[in-house]
A and B are shown apart, each in its own frame.
Chain A
Amino acid sequence: MLLALKDVNTYYGQIHILQGVSLDVAEGELVCLLGGNASGKSTTLKTILGLVAPRSGSVVFDGEDVTRASTSRRIERGMAIVPENRRLFSPMTVTENLEMGAYRRSGDLRAAFERVYDLFPLLADRRSQLAGTMSGGEQQMVAVGRALMSEPRLLLMDEPSMGLAPILVERSFEIIQAVHEAGVAVLVVEQNANMALSVADRGYVLQTGRIALTDRADALRENDDLRKAYLGR
Chain B
Amino acid sequence: MTKIGTDEWVAQVGERTEAYRGLTAPVRRTWDGIPLGWRFAAAMLLVALLPVATDSSYVVRVGVNAFLFGLLALGLNVVVGYAGLLDLGYIAFYGFGAYTYALLSSDQIGVHLPAELTLIVVVALTAGLGYVLGLPSRRLLGDYLAIVTLFFGQVFVQLAIHLDRLSLPWADGPVNVTGGPNGIVGIDPIRLVGVTFSSVTDYFYLLLVAFVALAVGLHRLTASRTGRAWRALREDPLAAEQMGLPVNRLKLLAFAVGGAVAGFAGAVFAAVQVGVFPQNFETLLLIMIYAAVILGGAGSLPGVAIGAAVIAVFPEVLRTPDYARLIFYGVVLGGLVALLRPWSRLAAVLAGTVVLGFVVRFATAAAWPDAAAVAPGGLVARALGAWVATPPNATTVGNVAFVLLVPAVLAVTRLRGPARTWALPTVLYLAAFVWETRLVAEPSVTRQLVLGAILVVMMTARPQGLLGTPRVEML
Q: Mark B154-168, 1 if CB is under 8 A from A, else 0.
A: 000000000000000
Closest residue of chain B to A156, judged by CB? B242
| Residue among A49, A72, A122 with most chain B CB within 10 A | A72
B242 engages A83 (CB within 8 Å): yes
Quick one: which of A72, A83, A139 contacts B244, CB cutoff 8 A? A72
A24 contacts B by Cβ under 8 Å: no
Q: Which stretch of A7-15, A26-34, A125-133, A195-203 is in the interface?
A: A125-133
Cα(A89)–Cα(B474), bound, Å = 9
B471 within 8 A of A: yes
For the complex, what is the distance from the CA of A219 to the CA of B232, rounded to whole Å? Answer: 43
Beyond A89-B232, A96-B228, whether A51 also contacts B241 by CB under 8 A is: yes
A:122-171 near B, CB below 8 Å: 122, 125-126, 128-133, 139, 146, 150
Candidates B243, B469, B473; contact of A101 at CB < 8 Å: B243
Contact residues in A for B238 (Cβ distance below 8 Å): 83, 87
Contact of A49 among B235, B242, B471 (CB under 8 A): B242
Contacts of A88 in B (CB 8 A): 239, 474
Chain B residues within 8 Å of A81, by CB: 242
Q: Which residues of B contact A51 (CB under 8 A)?
A: 241-242
Give chain A residues whose Cβ lies under 8 Å from the Cβ of B7: 122, 125-126
Contact, CB under 8 Å: A103 / B244: yes
Distance from A48 Cβ to chain B, minimum over Cβ atoms (Å) = 12
* B243 near A90: Cβ-Cβ < 8 Å: no
Q: In the complex, how many residues of chain B place their beta carbon closer than 8 angstroms to a beta carbon of chain A?
A: 26
Alpha-carbon distance between A128 and B14 when the two chains are bound, in angstroms: 12
Q: Does B13 contact A (CB under 8 A)?
A: yes
- A228 CA / B38 CA spacing, docked (Å): 69
Query: What's the Cα separation between A195 and B242 when bound, in Å?
Result: 26
**Given that A96-B228, A100-B228 are contacting pairs, would A71 and B474 also be in contact in the complex, using a CB cutoff of 8 Å?**
no
- Please tell me if the beta carbons of A92 and B228 are within 8 angstroms of each other in the complex: yes
How near does chain B come to A80, taking the closest CB pair, in angstroms? Answer: 8
Instruction: Report the tally of A-B residue pairs with Cβ distances under 8 A.
Output: 84
**Residue in chain B with minimal CB distance to A121:** B7
Judge whether B236 is part of the interface by a CB distance below 8 angstroms.
yes
B61 surroundings in chain A (CB, below 8 A): none
Q: Nearest Cβ in chain B — how far from A10, in angstroms? A: 17
**A101 contact set on B, CB distance < 8 A:** 243
A89 and B235 form a contact (CB under 8 A): yes
Pick the contact of A125 from B10, B228, B236, B471 — CB < 8 Å? Answer: B10
**Per-residue contact bits, chain A 65-83, to B (CB 8 Å; 1 contact, 0 not):** 0000001101110000101
Given known A-B contacts A76-B244, A103-B243, A91 and B472 have beta carbons under 8 A apart: yes
Docked CA distance A76–B245 (Å): 11
30 residue pairs A–B, Cβ–Cβ below 8 Å: A49-B242, A74-B244, A81-B242, A87-B238, A87-B239, A87-B242, A89-B231, A89-B236, A89-B240, A90-B235, A90-B472, A91-B235, A99-B228, A100-B232, A100-B245, A103-B244, A103-B245, A104-B244, A122-B7, A125-B7, A125-B10, A126-B7, A128-B10, A128-B13, A129-B9, A131-B472, A132-B472, A132-B474, A133-B472, A139-B474
Task: Give chain A's interface residues, CB within 8 Å of chain B.
Answer: 49, 51, 71-72, 74-76, 81, 83, 87-92, 96, 99-101, 103-104, 122, 125-126, 128-133, 139, 146, 150
- Contacts A71-B242, A101-B243 aside, 9 further interface pairs with beta carbons under 8 A come to A51-B242, A72-B246, A87-B242, A90-B471, A91-B235, A92-B228, A100-B228, A103-B244, A131-B472
